């Protein structure tokens, strides 16, 4: 498989798309699990890394593995190179996983993260005036 690196504008729109989707998921997760959220910026980064491989609990896919993130994100042990505190990152990742597990264990409705195509993420990330131009 050949990895194609998109231009900066496309990367920017994808980052916004992933962020909007991630914030929505994390907000629903924190409310449903009644958990105080960790720092948002770190929680979003932790979520992206969890999306890289996906999360399955008792045979139920909560987060699907994301092919783009698997290809583009560096290994998790590199996050400190990008000014992300490793212990805060690990704590956020553990908090997300714990919240998902607790919802599953209490038989509460599980909060799932919908998977989007690249085109859908670009539309989500685009300003309103540009959404119709994305094919």
Domain-wise residue ranges, the chain: 8-133
pTM metric for this prediction: 0.84
Between CA 87 and CA 51, with CA 8 as vertex, the angle to 5 degrees is 40
The pLDDT tens digits for 21-64 are 999 999 999 988 888 878 889 999 999 999 999 888 777 788 88
Q: What is the 3-state secondary structure (H, E, C) of the chain?
A: CCCCCCCHHHHHHHHHHHHHHHHHHHHHHHHHHCCCCCCHHHHHHHHHHHHHHCEEECCEEEECCCHHHHHHCCCHHHHHHHCCCHHHHHHHHHHHHHHHHHHHHCCCCCCCECCCCHHHHHHHHCCHHHHHHCC
Residue pLDDT, tens place only, 58-110: 777 888 888 889 988 889 988 889 899 999 999 999 999 998 888 877 777 76
């Amino acid at each position: 498989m050949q990895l194609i690196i998109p231009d900066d504008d496309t990367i920017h729109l994808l980052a916004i798309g992933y962020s909007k989707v991630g914030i929505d998921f994390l907000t629903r997760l924190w409310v449903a699990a009644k958990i105080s959220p960790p720092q948002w910026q770190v929680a979003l980064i932790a979520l992206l890394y969890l999306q890289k491989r996906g999360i399955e609990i008792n045979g139920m896919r909560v987060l699907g593995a994301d092919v783009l993130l698997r290809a583009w994100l560096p290994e998790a042990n590199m996050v400190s190179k990008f000014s992300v505190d490793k212990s805060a990152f690990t704590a956020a990742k553990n908090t997300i996983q714990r919240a998902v597990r607790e919802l599953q264990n209490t038989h509460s409705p599980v909060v799932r993260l919908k998977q989007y195509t690249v085109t859908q993420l670009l539309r989500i990330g685009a300003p309103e005036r540009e959404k119709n131009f994305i094919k």
